[in-house]
Amino acid sequence: MLKNKSDLAKYPFTIEAARYVSGRGLEIQDLVADEYSATLDRAEKRIEEAITSAKIAQEWQDDEVEILSFPTAIMLLSIIGDDRLRRRYALAESKRAYEILSKDESAKTKIIEIAENTFSWKIEQVEKTIEERYYEYALHFMNYLRNATSIHAPTWKLTNRILSGGYVYLTKDETSRLLLEEIQRKILARSEKTTLEIPIALALRVEKIRQMIEARKGFMRIEEVPRAAVYTAMPPCVRNLYDALFAGRNLSHMGRFTLTSFLVNVGVGEEEIVKTFKAATDFDEKKTRYQVEHIAGRRGGKRKYTPPRCETLKTHSVCVNPDDLCKQIKHPLTYYRRKVGSLFKRGKKPETG
Amino acid sequence: MALSLREGRSLKPVEDFVKERFSEYYRKNSRNVEPPPSIEKREFGFILFKERMMVRHKSFRTSQDLARFLENTAPSDAYHSTAYYSRPEEAMENKGWLGADLCFDIDADHIPTACKAIHDRWICKDCGATDVGSPPDMCPKCRKERIDEETWLCEKCLDRARTEATKLVDILESDFGLSKNYMSAFFSGHRGYHLHVRADEVRQLNDTERKEIVDYVLGLGLDTGLHRLRQGTKGTKLEISNVSGFGWNGRLAKGLFDIMSNSDERELADLGLKRRAIKDILETREQVPKEQFTTTIWKTLYTIGPKTWQKIAERAIYESSVKIDTVVTTDIHRLIRLSGTLNGKTGLKVVNAPVADLERFDPFKEAVAFVGEDTVYIKEAPQFRLGEEVFGPYQKEKRTLPRAAAILLICKGKAAPVIS
């Protein structure tokens, strides 16, 4: 168990820190009192740092303030209710934790404590060298899958892991990386929009943050949308093709065309698409380049192709796991535009007057 | 009276005949139907003889209610959800998904077997062209894509499916640490096996996570470099040395060594190995004692280049992977056949197969559902076995057969009842 205050300040998302805070019996109205102005300042700073640099500083003066400012910041986020900000904040906080953990001298036991107590992971400490790799942890596959499936790299694919008796072997750094995912999810869940009655003194702070978001909006979007294609905004069919490609599966002609034309239309560059297709097993760079250029309208009929409609995709079994949004649309590009819209533009405009 | 079978299948008397037999089965056996645990949280679906359509979103509070329903309706096929819902009878978006068993479907359709060329055939609906084996995507004669297939359930195919199921159980147990106590296996009554894992820990897996398990079982996305098949100092050499290694690491090593130690000249040539490499391998086998085959001796064969190692590795992965129907496992709202009910494609029953003793399970004996006899006119049928008795092959003949055999032939469209 994390006991001393400086640990709670380092890891304010833990259950121990939450217990400490609830032990103080703080109410939202109390926060306006003078003695908590430092806490409010720090909470605001946390959010500001997330907005401006996507990083939260790892130095602080007062442990007490550091501990209390974390739930306070989350409360502010849930009042503001901007999904994009919430995600950005969750990422910044989890990175902070990851970096502090990597410098922590007792990281090895801290990881176990945080994983078990706060996130109920089934995890064991091991000392094992398998095929020249040194592993320090074994994590139950359920906890592994929940956190690793969002990381798209061959090393994280379960097929490429050492899995035995239900446990996946991990290095210390890999375990911290998975904790980072879990911390993000927890912050996202805890900061969901609420309709709290807010004291006037807090309302001013909220307003200030809203303006800060507004001012940084374009910038945040550029940072968060790497050269356009947003994986999470892709319709299930395209995501499936994308995953299949990375899993080394051969795509059908229809699948290949759908993926390429989709990527072309959401603004991914030709070079980038060719690179993506490099993951395919039957990759022939020249041929792929030709196809991509053709679909992008630079060759042949000079016509830029759009992906087939949903109906066509169904016929050719490219349509998989349609979700609720799929029911409302008839074209994969419509899906994407709507999803991007709801992911990145939900931040409320500050009310004037 | 000889019915043309294509017409015969749509003729009402044939359907009534089968339905009557199914009805009789359910009157006698509905209490033996084995509902899944937490019956009240499951959705049920049925294909009825009359409508030939799936009736979904049914739910039952007790196994007695379910039994009564089966007696009254005698469906052609019966299914239950792998999922648990708080309101199973509502439309999908209102059901309240609570979790789902982890299910796998192993079907002979997904396993290439040589005998398919003997017992399966396809017919082009447009030009009538026909041939043996698995159906092509497009008719080679008229280039249209409307193709009908006639499959048969054969012992070799089902043996292969059962072997795949055994491999799957092994992976789930040794890699995923899931106990056999939480697994149930069923013969589907047609061409394959279903495996249900009902452990608490797998229930909450979402579709993405299930897909990752599917990929693992298939060996998909396996990066041989990450499993230490990589560039050595003097050209590429095999660095995997640990056949007792964990998971795919060990499986890949075992597979590689197996090919290197046991594949004959032709099999090695089929893998695309060059003459010199094959000669090297065969000579090494002669010179080195067999005990050392699983150690490091293969590393020293510099005649085998990186591309060839990759080919051998891919073959090894293929041999160790389990050929499952991927959609069944990833779909968390799936309906799957209910144990103890009849399969409308065969008249055989879906039956529990002991997970710990799969190799000794005999589907052609355990799945027989009927007693009595029926007379049928058989157009054409390959040889087959039910229980201890071997039937056929038949060619345009009238026969009085045990009821299970007669129903099987009728359901598969190979025979029509002779109704006196």
Tens-place pLDDT, residues B93-108:
899 999 999 999 999 8
Mean pLDDT, chain B, whole residue set: 87
pLDDT at A45: 93
- Closest chain A CA to residue B211: A149
| Poorest-pLDDT segment among A105-114, A224-233, B284-293 | A224-233
If pLDDT is split at 50, 70 and 90, which confidence band does B87 have? very high
Which of A160, A163, A243 is the closest to B175 by Cβ? A163
The separation between CA B391 and the C-alpha centre of its own chain, rounded to angstroms, equals: 24
CATH for the stretch B5-108+182-206+333-417: 3.90.920.10
Cβ–Cβ below 8 Å for B212 and A158: yes
Burial of A318 (0-12, 13-18, 19+ CB in 10 A): buried
Mean pLDDT, chain A, whole residue set: 84
Q: Which are the contacts of B108, defined by CB distance < 8 A and separation ≥ 6?
A: B151, B153, B154, B157, B158, B160, B161, B191, B192
Look at B114 and B316; give whichever has higher pLDDT: B316
Identify the CA nearest to B353 among candidates B364, B344, B362: B362
If pLDDT is split at 50, 70 and 90, which confidence band does A217 have? low
**Beta carbons of B107 and B161 less than 8 angstroms apart:** yes
**Beta carbons of B127 and B96 less than 8 angstroms apart:** no
**Average pLDDT of the residues in B140-149:** 79
pLDDT above 50 for A338: yes
CA distance B226 to B100: 32
* Residues of chain A contacting residue B242, judged by C-beta atoms under 8 Å apart: 131
Judged by a CB distance cut-off of 8 A, whether residue B145 touches chain A is no
How many residues comprise chain A?
353
pLDDT above 50 for A292: yes
The percent of residues in chain A predicted with pLDDT above 70, rounded, is: 88
Domain boundaries of chain A, sorted by first residue = 5-103+195-224, 107-184, 231-344
**Average pLDDT of the residues in B164-179:** 96
If pLDDT is split at 50, 70 and 90, which confidence band does B141 have? confident
Question: CB contacts < 8 Å between A and B, how many?
Answer: 92
Judged by a CB distance cut-off of 8 A, whether residue B361 touches chain A is no
Residues of A with CB under 8 A from a CB of B: 130-132, 140-142, 145-146, 148-149, 154-155, 157-167, 169, 243, 246-249, 321, 324
B44-77 burial code (b ≥16 CB/10 A, e <16)? bbbebbeeeeeebbbbbeeeeebbebbbebbbbb
CA distance B28 to B308: 60
pLDDT at A214: 81
Which of A132, A149, A161 is the closest to B208 by Cβ? A149
pLDDT above 70 for A228: no
If pLDDT is split at 50, 70 and 90, which confidence band does B112 have? confident
Q: What is the pLDDT of residues A52-63, one digit of tens each?
A: 888 898 888 899
pLDDT above 70 for A258: yes
Cβ–Cβ below 8 Å for B247 and A162: yes
Give me B286's structure tokens.
């002669």
- Closest chain B CA to residue A132: B228
If pLDDT is split at 50, 70 and 90, which confidence band does A351 have? very low
pLDDT at B366: 97
B215, B239, B327: which to substitute to probe chain A, counting the most A Cβ within 10 Å?
A: B215
If pLDDT is split at 50, 70 and 90, which confidence band does B88 have? very high
**Average pLDDT of the residues in B21-42:** 96
A141, A152, A239: which to substitute to probe chain B, counting the most B Cβ within 10 Å?
A: A141
Q: What is the pLDDT of residues B303-313, one digit of tens each?
A: 777 777 888 88
In angstroms, the Cα distances linking B278 to B162, B258, B263, B285, B289 are: 33, 15, 10, 11, 18
Give me B55's structure tokens.
């009736």
Which of B174, B209, B222 is the closest to A159 by Cβ? B222
CA distance B209 to A153: 15
Which of A142, A160, A166 is the closest to B222 by Cβ? A160
Burial of B313 (0-12, 13-18, 19+ CB in 10 A): buried
CA distance A322 to A235: 8
pLDDT above 60 for B295: no
pLDDT above 70 for A199: yes
Cβ–Cβ below 8 Å for A132 and B202: no
> Which range, A13-27, A213-227, B230-244, B341-355, has the best average confidence (pLDDT)?
B341-355
Cβ–Cβ below 8 Å for B174 and A146: no
- Closest chain A CA to residue B334: A321
CA distance B212 to chain A (A): 7
pLDDT at A16: 95
pLDDT above 80 for A282: no
pLDDT above 90 for A114: yes
Say how many Å lie between the first and final Cα of chain B, rounded.
Answer: 10
- Closest chain B CA to residue A150: B208
pLDDT at A125: 95
pLDDT above 70 for B301: no
Q: Which are the contacts of B2, defined by CB distance < 8 A and separation ≥ 6?
A: B377, B396
* Residues of chain B contacting residue A131, judged by C-beta atoms under 8 Å apart: 227-228, 240, 242, 245, 249
pLDDT above 60 for B68: yes
The separation between CA B205 and the C-alpha centre of its own chain, rounded to angstroms, equals: 23
Which of A140, A142, A164 is the closest to B175 by Cβ? A164
